[in-house]
Amino acid sequence: MSQRLNLTRIPCPGLKTKPEPGAKLGFGSLFTDFMFALDYTEGKGWHDARIEPYAPLELDPSCMTLHYGQTIFEGMKAYRGEDDSVRLFRPRLNFERMNVSAKRMGIPTLDVDLALQALEALIRQEADWVPGEPGTSLYIRPFIFATEGHLGVRVAKTYRFLIILSPSGAYYESGLDPVSIYIEDEYVRAVRGGTGFAKTAANYAVSLLSQIVAKERGYEQVLWLDGVERRYIEEVGSMNVFFVIDGEPVTPVLNGSILPGITRRSVLELLEHQGRPAREMRLAVDELMELARAGRVTEVFGTGTAAVISPVGRLSYGEESISFTYNPADSLAYQLYDDLTGIQYGHKPDELGWVHCVTPGRKPQTEGSL
């Protein structure tokens, strides 16, 4: 049986001014008034659940996370529906994945129901921060990190689980405009047996140098190849990747070094539901470039919670760069973006039961919107 959350609410001396409706929100730099916090102590388990003011943390300089990187995170969103309801998208999957990451990093796991209760309580308290403009949402960042101060290399004995909230717009400044991607053939992000499937800071830290090089060369994102043969397509740093080859949607099969994205899974399930199943397969970069050269790759797009669906307009590998035309009217990426966001915001029916309402609607749904 799942535990019931015993929550303390710590008041805030003063509340922040919320952004004006219609203000450009960007991604991940504005935070709400409160956060959820829960501590873990070896021998005692998780304790002291609280909603407290969002504020800087006090850390011991020997805090083990700062030295050995024992930390994991998730990315999710709360959407304001057309009827004013506040809605989450498949939130259990995020907390289940967080536990998979926790196990890999030697971090204690969390009861999924307890984590969900915590998130719901925080979202209810901060519901006025969920923006309502098209394409905006309240980005949710749950994370766990070691708090113990100690310099020996071992798993920590104390941790903190925090959930912070950030009203956000599009992840990429270019919005739904196609991004350009540089295929990295020197550095690798992950190897099988490593941590590629876990959402842990190290996977992102190792990607940053390539991101600098990609930017210098005029590309926005990096596409990773497998770490052994440096031949098979894996993922983009903040998204999984799909291709339309000879009319069929294709994505790299999960192999232990690719992040099992929840948007990736939802796209696969949605395509299956719509009678247009995608293929998960090993995809070699040289074969992909050959198919692209022959005009058989008609679309490339990324999928991720933050980025949603992001069309790719240019792919570069070695000396070669291939462009793809993005035409929303006949694009699978656009159709998937429209279907997914339609379900998330509530103007398309939730046939697969993915939406988890946190606060009920207060306004009638506009006629014909469902």
- Closest residue by Cα to residue 304 from 275, 331, 265, 248: 265
Axis crossing angle, helix 112-125 with helix 91-104, rounded to the nearest 10: 130
Task: Kindly state the smallest distance separating residue 238's Cβ from ligand COI, in Å.
Answer: 4
Task: Kindly state the smallest distance separating residue 171's Cβ from ligand COI, in Å.
Answer: 6
The angle at the Cα of 289, spanning 287 to 293, to the nearest 5 degrees, equals 115
Task: Kindly state the smallest distance separating residue 53's Cβ from ligand COI, in Å.
Answer: 24
- Distance between first and last Cα of the chain: 37
Task: Kindly state the smallest distance separating residue 292's Cβ from ligand COI, in Å.
Answer: 26
Burial label, 218 (beta-carbon count in 10 A; 0-12, 13-18, 19+): exposed
CB 102 within 8 A of CB 144: yes
**102 vs 292, which CB is nearer to ligand COI?**
102
**Mask for 251-290, x = binds ligand COI (CB under 6 A):** ----------------------------------------
CB 316 within 8 A of CB 217: yes
Would you state the structure tokens that stand for residue 61, as one six-digit string?
């300089």
- Which of 101, 166, 210, 238 binds ligand COI (CB under 6 A)? It is 238
Considering only residues 300 to 319 of the shown chain, the ones binding ligand COI according to CB under 6 A are 304-306
Considering only residues 65 to 84 of the shown chain, the ones binding ligand COI according to CB under 6 A are 75
**262 vs 315, which CB is nearer to ligand COI?**
262
Task: Kindly state the smallest distance separating residue 262's Cβ from ligand COI, in Å.
Answer: 9
Considering only residues 168 to 197 of the shown chain, the ones binding ligand COI according to CB under 6 A are none
Would you state the structure tokens that stand for residue 340, as one six-digit string?
């997914």
Interface with ligand COI by CB under 6 A: which residues? Answer: 75, 238, 304-306
